[in-house]
Amino acid sequence: MSLTTISNGKYTAVICDKGAELYSLKAGGIEYIWQADAAYWNRHAPVLFPFVGRCKGDSYTYGDASYKMKQHGFARDNVFEVERVGETSASFVLRSNPELKKIYPFDFELHVEYRLGGAGLEVVYTVKNNGGSVMFYSIGSHEAYRCPLVEGERFEDYRLRFGANERLDRFYLDDGLTSRDSDPFIDFGQELALKHEYFYRSVAVLKNLRSTSVTLKSRVSGHGVEVRFAGFKNFGVWQAKDAPFLALEPWNGISDEAAFFGTLPTKTDILRLNAGASQVFTHSIHPF
């Protein structure tokens, strides 16, 4: 396991080759990324691939075979090859291999590139299908942000602001599976004042957003972070119980429902990639 640091004078980011995971993003003396205190949650910002969320029974069926798959896939627990490192950017790749084919029978490449610019950090996922048939997958981010960001503030000093007016229900996860239970998360508006108890039952699973950005901001210090995620269909907002962080998670994919009995091609919001093709997804992080 090794760490790669990139910087442009305004922002500094640190990425680990295990999982191509963002470990740190600093600006103006503030650390924005959760620092993996195991008392709450021992990760920073995992990349979710080839599935977002949990498969029913921790397995899925494709063709005539059944495959085991743990929650959020395997990318976060595998060491990526460092492809390129520059002063302000770094790229990592995970490729299919015989061991991974035992649980995911596709010839894939997953490239994750981090690029610093004047407004923050861009994260680019490129998925390639090197096989001879259609490939099925999901992809997402699980970045957790320190909240509060400034000493003396409280979690309740922060608000979420969506980029567009929304009428959003939150769906729950029960034992990691998407429940049909829901209640209003935002009712014809853009802002939500945060409370720890909102996340006691599970992550807030938000489907089919109109917004392409979400901002986490303190009403006390004015500091926060904007996440832009055009091209991602769903979004997760999560906190370990009473933890001083909030995860803002762009997703293309979602956990199975408890009533799901289908095969891989029929999973909800599964992506399809033709033989020899590639797909690119980008989200960006803008600290302030």
Query: pTM score, two decimals?
Result: 0.96
pLDDT of residue 202: 94
Report in angstroms the alpha-carbon separations of 95 from 98, 106, 114, 211: 10, 10, 18, 33
pLDDT digits (tens, 9 = 90+) for 235-262: 999 999 999 999 999 999 999 999 999 9
With CA atoms as reference, report the closest residue to 200 among 242, 262, 144.
Answer: 242
pLDDT digits (tens, 9 = 90+) for 150-194: 999 999 999 999 999 999 999 999 999 999 889 999 888 899 999
Q: What mean pLDDT is predicted for residues 39-64?
A: 97
pLDDT of residue 188: 82
> Which residues fall within 8 angstroms of residue 74, CB to CB, at 6 or more apart?
49, 50, 100, 103, 104
